[in-house]
């Protein structure tokens, strides 16, 4: 494995209810300002679940300048394109490309990959067919005659799960290897892992990976609630009184490059990607194993892939979604790998909610800030650690990372578990 290129991070972008910049989201975390508040997208005042971490008061044009594009994409895509743009601009890759001649530019484009993790299906997009259903009144022949009068001809394109992949390609003329992962919560982190793996395998020289989602809609909230997965007020990871998760929405993006190339063009290096691991528990759509089997195997794979021992991990950003089963098994998985004294653990869903397909990617972006600042932020919604999980190094107060490496965990439906390992750049220069 030693002959593979090192992979560095030269661009990061994020948008969530807690802010449109990583710095502002970090600020919200440090000051305990949660973005969880009343749902505004529909009248939820009488709903059993009335809160989410929405991106509020942001004009669509702030997210994506090109108004014509708004007609061709959906809300989740706006977030994804915004985060990708922030990350790509920060990387300076476009300015670098300007300096290349025509042949080198074509090669640059063909060697630039795009990897998206997309929430995929949304329910509200189907409501565009409601007027036709009303007219048809149960008669399929009428429906077949009427739908084209009421539905946007571009309906399918507006709702493609791979829209962000497609439009990032078109906007920046990136034409290399690509994927759109629609693996629910772990879609974004798997896009990140595949982007890094593509560079390692020599399939691309650079790649942008994006996770994006907008799960806050009536049917999703209603059904998650029916399944007992949502809390009524706040996400309280690992807390004795945790009752579930809270939806958020948004996106995050990462630009990866070969270290040698990034150094040659004197790019600012924000971190290094060390490895990833992935395993399913084969438990079906909703269930998780109580012993943390899949997550502990994913962590083992990731550490092996990164070539680091458990003792070298300085901090852990847990999935910590606040549900009874997931948090309990997550704590067990962490102890299975790290023994009785794991490094400091935190989780960020209390601040920006659960971004589903974007969840682990935004956690990764903030983990790098945490490493740089040498602060493992506290979890203000944690009142009292679940005694069944004790001892476990989570705290409502800030902790200090043990080292310059972070482990980021992400879990989802289909018994999915993914672990990512990253290192902050500041220490790279010295080491």
Binders of another protein among 190-229, rule CB under 8 A? 190, 194, 197, 201-203, 218-219, 222-223, 226-227
Neighbours of 430 (CB within 10 A): 6
Q: Closest separation between CB of residue 85 and another protein, Å? A: 15
Q: Closest separation between CB of residue 341 and another protein, Å? A: 27
Pick the piece of the chain touching another protein (CB under 8 A) from 13-21, 56-64, 134-142, 365-373.
134-142
Neighbours of 140 (CB within 10 A): 8
Dihedral of the CA atoms 361, 363, 367, 373 (nearest 10)? 120
Q: Closest separation between CB of residue 199 and another protein, Å? A: 12
Q: Closest separation between CB of residue 326 and another protein, Å? A: 15
11 is written with which tokens?
């661009």
Q: Closest separation between CB of residue 390 and another protein, Å? A: 29
Site track for another protein across 253-292, x = CB under 8 A: -------------------------xxxxxxxxx------
Burial of 131 (0-12, 13-18, 19+ CB in 10 A): middle
Q: Closest separation between CB of residue 218 and another protein, Å? A: 4
Please identify which residue in 98, 101, 141, 340 interacts with another protein, judged by CB under 8 A. 141
Q: Which helix (H) or strand (E) holds 78?
A: helix 75-91
Contact 336, 37 (CB under 8 A): no
Instruction: Tell me which residue of 250, 253, 226 sits closest to 79, measured CA to CA.
Output: 250
Which SS3 state, helix, strand or coil, does residue 112 take?
strand
Contact 424, 279 (CB under 8 A): no
Site track for another protein across 36-75, x = CB under 8 A: ------xxx-xx------------------------x---
Please identify which residue in 317, 345, 379, 416 interacts with another protein, judged by CB under 8 A. 416
d(CA 34, CA 316): 20
Please identify which residue in 101, 140, 429, 431 interacts with another protein, judged by CB under 8 A. 140
Chain-centroid distance, C-alpha 108: 27
Number of residues that bind another protein (CB under 8 A): 92
- What's the angle, vertex CA 396, arms to CA 394 and CA 397, rounded to 5? 100
Task: Give residue 243's region: left, alpha or beta (phi > 0; psi -120 to 50).
Answer: alpha
**10-39 binders of another protein (CB under 8 A):** none
Please identify which residue in 38, 62, 126, 263 interacts with another protein, judged by CB under 8 A. 126
**145-164 binders of another protein (CB under 8 A):** 145-148, 151-157, 159-163
**163-182 binders of another protein (CB under 8 A):** 163, 165-166, 169-170, 173-182
């Amino acid at each position: 494995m030693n002959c593979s290129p090192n992979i560095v991070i030269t661009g990061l972008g994020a948008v969530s209810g807690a802010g449109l910049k990583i710095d502002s989201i970090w600020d919200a975390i440090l000051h305990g300002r949660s973005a969880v508040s009343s749902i505004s997208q529909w009248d939820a005042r009488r709903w059993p679940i009335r809160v989410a971490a929405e991106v509020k008061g942001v004009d669509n044009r702030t997210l994506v300048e090109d108004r014509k594009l708004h007609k061709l994409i959906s809300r989740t895509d706006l977030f994804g394109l915004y985060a990708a743009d922030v990350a790509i601009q920060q990387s300076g890759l476009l300015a670098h490309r300007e300096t290349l001649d025509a042949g080198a530019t074509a090669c640059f484009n063909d060697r630039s990959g795009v990897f998206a993790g997309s929430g995929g299906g949304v329910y509200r997009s189907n409501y565009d067919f409601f007027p036709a259903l009303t007219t048809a009144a149960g008669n399929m022949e009428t429906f077949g005659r009427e739908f084209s009068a009421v539905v946007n001809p571009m309906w399918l394109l507006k709702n493609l799960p791979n829209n962000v992949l497609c439009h990032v390609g078109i906007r920046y003329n990136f034409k290399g290897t690509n994927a759109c992962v629609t693996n629910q919560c772990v879609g974004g982190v798997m896009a990140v892992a595949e982007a890094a793996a593509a560079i390692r395998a020599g399939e691309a020289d650079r790649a942008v990976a994006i996770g994006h989602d907008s799960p806050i809609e009536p049917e999703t909230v209603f059904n998650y609630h029916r399944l007992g997965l949502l809390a009524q007020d706040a996400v309280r990871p690992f807390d004795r009184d945790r009752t579930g998760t809270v939806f958020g929405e948004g996106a995050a993006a990462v630009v990866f490059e070969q270290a040698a190339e990034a150094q040659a063009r004197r790019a600012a290096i924000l971190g290094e990607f060390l490895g990833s691991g992935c395993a399913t528990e084969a438990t079906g759509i909703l269930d998780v194993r109580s012993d943390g089997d899949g997550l502990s195997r994913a962590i083992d794979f990731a550490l092996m892939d990164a070539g680091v021992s458990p003792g070298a991990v300085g901090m852990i950003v847990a999935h910590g979604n606040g549900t009874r089963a997931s948090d309990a098994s997550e704590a067990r998985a962490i102890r299975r790998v790290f023994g009785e004294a794991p490094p400091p653990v935190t989780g960020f869903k209390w601040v920006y909610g659960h971004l589903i397909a974007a969840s682990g990617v935004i956690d990764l972006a903030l983990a790098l800030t945490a490493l740089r600042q040498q602060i493992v932020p506290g979890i203000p919604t944690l009142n009292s650690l679940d005694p069944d999980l004790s001892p476990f190094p989570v705290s409502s107060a800030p902790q200090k990372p043990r080292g310059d490496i972070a482990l980021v965990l992400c879990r989802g439906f289909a018994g999915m578990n993914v672990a990512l390992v990253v290192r902050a750049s500041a220490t790279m220069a010295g080491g």
